[in-house]
Chain A
Amino acid sequence: MNSFNLRIYESDGVFYEGEVIKLTIPAYDGEYGIWAGHENVVMAVVPGILRFTTFEEKTYLASVSNGMFRVEDGDVLVLVETAERPEEIDVERARRKEKEARDAMQEKKSLREYRLAEMQLKRELVRLKLAGKEMLED
């Protein structure tokens, strides 16, 4: 099977770099799949679950936040603010943060705080979803 080079950069480091066979990215209108030989495209990434499969037929999952990705001549670059593996997610912490975010949204402080809380809530929900998935697969 044909493979392509994938780089995932997050704001505090390089998340993944290597050859993969298949990549699925959360985009504004649903999930976007990429195989080798994809046309050149630049697209925004929304918070969600990213998936990629390596040569050994192993599929990795990661929760990602806002950003963009670019396909250029078969080379894929994903830029996201944060990316986490399922094993890095602390479920207790995510639950607590989720509750905090919901409370903050209830309090109606200011538009900015509301938006920050909303973003936080989105991130935590994705985290919890990913952590839940991992448990089902085990």
Chain B
Amino acid sequence: MANAREIKGRIDSVRNTKKITSAMYLISSAKLRKAKEGLAKTRPYFDATEHEIKRIFQSTNEVDSHYFFPKEKTKEVRKQAFLVITADRGLAGGYNHNVIRAAEEEMKKHRNVRLYVVGDYGRRYFKKHKGPIEETFYYSAQDPTFHRAREISALLLDEYDSGRADAITVIYSDMESELSCVVRKARLLPFSRKDFLEGEEESTDKEFRFEPSPTSVLDSLIPSYVAGFIYGALVDSFSAEQNSRMNAMSNANRNAEELLTRLKKEYNRVRQAAITQQITEVSAGAKAQRMRRLKKAKQRMEEK
């Protein structure tokens, strides 16, 4: 059994760690709330944009934009671009690993893949494993803002417009419930008409005049739509990250709690044993002294 001072030292260190993990838990829950508020604010704009794109399709057939799958599926998708969203830091359970594993699986399916990585963790991982990184975005995972999303979408749209990428896929995490998060893959570009034509059937008998043309209206909407989609993915990932961290930290807190009870019990046992031993020693010493005194007194009596 370790001695009391050693155990005391361990208790102190576990306590300190627990302070840190519970602080991280609180920080994560505050960040999660803030990110969700931000997303709720952009919802009306994003939903309205999606709705308008849908409507443009329903009211006219003459739309032809290179952002859409060609009507006849002739063009083969060769050059893939993946936007992989990871966190800047670890300590979030399996969050980062799940995203990276999903990205690697997807990469095996296609030959010509380039990566656009958000988050320091993913950047370091793919660098170390010689992944085909094309562009990384520093610190965008930390604080998702619409401004950042617009920068990312401008870059991706540029790659797409110039033909350096035929398809853009986003790999991100989403909170499924309080306890679990899932990795999602979504094709961002090209859009398929089906995605927009499906869903609620609107009355299309209303006549709209498009100025200067439906395609030009659509082209001015699409960058916002893409930015909105990326923003949504960034916030979902950020929420999932904070949620994973909260779970990881609450597990750590629980483990620390268990460890502390065990250590305290052990400490008390050691302390008790030490006290018992001391009492035994003292009483044994006292007894020995008394015996000596008695012996001496006896000797004196005999001398007299």
Contacts and interface: CB of A to CB of B under 8 A. Distances in A.
Which of A27, A29, A66, A79 counts the most B-chain CB atoms under 10 A from its CB? Answer: A79
A43 B224 contact: no
Interface stretch (B36-44, B124-132, B191-199): B36-44
B35 to A, nearest CB: 13
A13 B41 contact: yes
A9 B44 contact: yes
B302 interface: no
Contacts of B223: 66
A42 B52 contact: yes
A28 interface: yes
A14 B224 contact: no
Interface string A1-22: 0000000011111100000000
Main secondary structure of the interface of A (DSSP, over half): strand
A5 B219 CA distance: 26
B221 A112 contact: no
A67 interface: yes
Given A44-B216, A68-B52, A11 B208 contact: no
B98 interface: no
B209 interface: yes
B122 to A, nearest CB: 22
A128 to B, nearest CB: 20
Given A28-B212, A72-B206, A43 B217 contact: yes
A112 B224 CA distance: 17
A41 B211 contact: yes
A13 B281 CA distance: 78
B211 A11 contact: no
A10 B206 CA distance: 26
Contacts of A41: 208-211
Interface in B227-257: 227-228, 231
20 contacts: A9-B45, A10-B45, A11-B46, A13-B41, A13-B42, A29-B212, A39-B209, A40-B207, A42-B211, A43-B210, A44-B211, A44-B216, A66-B223, A67-B220, A73-B206, A79-B49, A81-B150, A112-B158, A115-B154, A116-B154
